[in-house]
């Protein structure tokens, strides 16, 4: 089983103003003369972390990591204005041009997989290949699976679901995403923070197959609120995508080498989405692994590191 590469630190960091409001934080790691690759983080809203640098061989890759609008060290933190999938896709292209990179490998997991597909389809001439993990296609049924009372995830982790659902009065549980959004967007700070903690208390602890069902996050409440607001903002708009858009758009990237890594028992982004993508894109290699959603579960890490190494070997 392959493991993450050793920890590294950025050799260069950037601040890039992409419009009058938003400024992105960007970091470059690894080999400045290496194979360019861009890492697209999940969430939406999560931001990049030191672990994300470690899926690529630092001797062979020039690794670019971007905090998306409102995320991580990008500013304004938690900002929703002018924050849509189209904005994020064009931000990625601006970063590529800013760094003087002609083409790069596009790597994304969870929400990052959505963004990787949307970006590659909008700018196929800028991509050398695609690696996606924990596939999310932005469809309403995927949101319902995880976040609504008629979805399937509640049957898998009932203890945590009970706490997520209990935060919303019974008469509003027919549309939990809308009910949560009303509270996340409340004028009352305490109401917003409580909703953010409940929202991410459900998601964050459903990411791995083996976990403590009673574990409580120690994340900063304001950070949690920002992530929850961005995520709910995207969920309530079905990721600002037309239904089936990313499947229909595969023809634009069919020529690119691609690997799809999917946890067989991923509860957040269930395997059906990866399967649907692989059916639309049979040229891509689908690897189902025995894990849940997290990229750091051993089988998923193994598959992703093998994928980045194989891509480097093929150039």
25, 41, 293, 294: which is the annotated catalytic residue? 293
CA distance 66 to 49: 10
Q: Confirm whether 293 is a catalytic residue.
A: yes
Q: Confirm whether 22 is a catalytic residue.
A: no
Contact 118, 246 (CB under 8 A): yes
Q: Confirm whether 266 is a catalytic residue.
A: yes
67, 223, 266, 302: which is the annotated catalytic residue? 266
CA distance 60 to 308: 10
- Angle, CA 160 vertex, CA 156 and CA 163 arms, to 5°: 135
Contact 57, 5 (CB under 8 A): yes
Give the relative orientation of helices 189-203 and 158-166 as an angle to the nearest 10 degrees: 160
84 is written with which tokens? 């849509």
Among candidates 107, 108, 235, which has minimal Cα distance to 178? Answer: 235
Contact 312, 11 (CB under 8 A): no
* 32 to 28, 61, 93, 315: CA distances (angstroms): 8, 8, 19, 17
49 is written with which tokens? 């972390």
177 is written with which tokens? 């995403």
Contact 114, 44 (CB under 8 A): no
CA distance 271 to 267: 8
Burial label, 296 (beta-carbon count in 10 A; 0-12, 13-18, 19+): middle
Coil, strand or helix at 7: coil
110, 278, 291, 294: which is the annotated catalytic residue? 110
Q: Which residues are catalytic?
A: 110, 266, 293
């Amino acid at each position: 089983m392959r493991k993450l590469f050793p920890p590294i630190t950025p050799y260069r960091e950037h601040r890039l103003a992409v419009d009058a409001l938003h400024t992105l934080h960007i970091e470059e790691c690894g080999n400045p003369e290496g194979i360019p690759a861009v890492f697209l983080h999940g969430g939406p809203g999560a931001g990049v972390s030191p672990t994300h640098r470690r899926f690529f061989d630092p001797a062979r890759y020039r690794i670019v990591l971007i905090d998306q609008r409102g995320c991580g060290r990008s500013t304004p933190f938690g900002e929703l204005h002018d924050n849509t999938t189209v904005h994020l896709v064009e931000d990625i292209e601006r970063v590529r041009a800013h760094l003087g990179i002609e083409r790069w490998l596009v790597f994304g997991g969870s929400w990052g997989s959505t963004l990787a597909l949307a970006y590659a389809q909008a700018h196929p001439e800028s991509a050398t290949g695609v690696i996606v993990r924990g596939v999310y296609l932005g469809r309403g049924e995927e949101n319902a699976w995880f976040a609504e009372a008629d979805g399937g995830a509640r049957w898998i982790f009932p203890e945590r679901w009970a706490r997520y659902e209990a935060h919303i009065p019974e008469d509003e549980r027919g549309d939990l995403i809308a009910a949560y959004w009303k509270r996340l967007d409340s004028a009352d700070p305490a109401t917003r923070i409580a909703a953010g903690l409940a929202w991410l208390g459900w998601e964050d602890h459903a990411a791995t197959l083996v976990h403590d069902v009673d574990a409580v996050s120690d994340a900063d409440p304001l950070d949690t609120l920002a992530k929850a607001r961005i995520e709910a903002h995207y969920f309530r708009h079905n990721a600002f995508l037309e239904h089936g858009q990313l499947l229909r758009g595969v023809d634009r990237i069919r020529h690119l080498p691609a690997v799809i890594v999917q946890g067989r028992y991923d509860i957040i982004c269930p395997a059906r989405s990866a399967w649907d993508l692989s059916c639309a894109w049979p040229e891509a290699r689908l690897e189902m692994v025995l894990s849940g959603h997290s990229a750091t579960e051993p089988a998923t890490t193994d598959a992703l590191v093998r994928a980045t190494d194989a891509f480097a070997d093929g150039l």
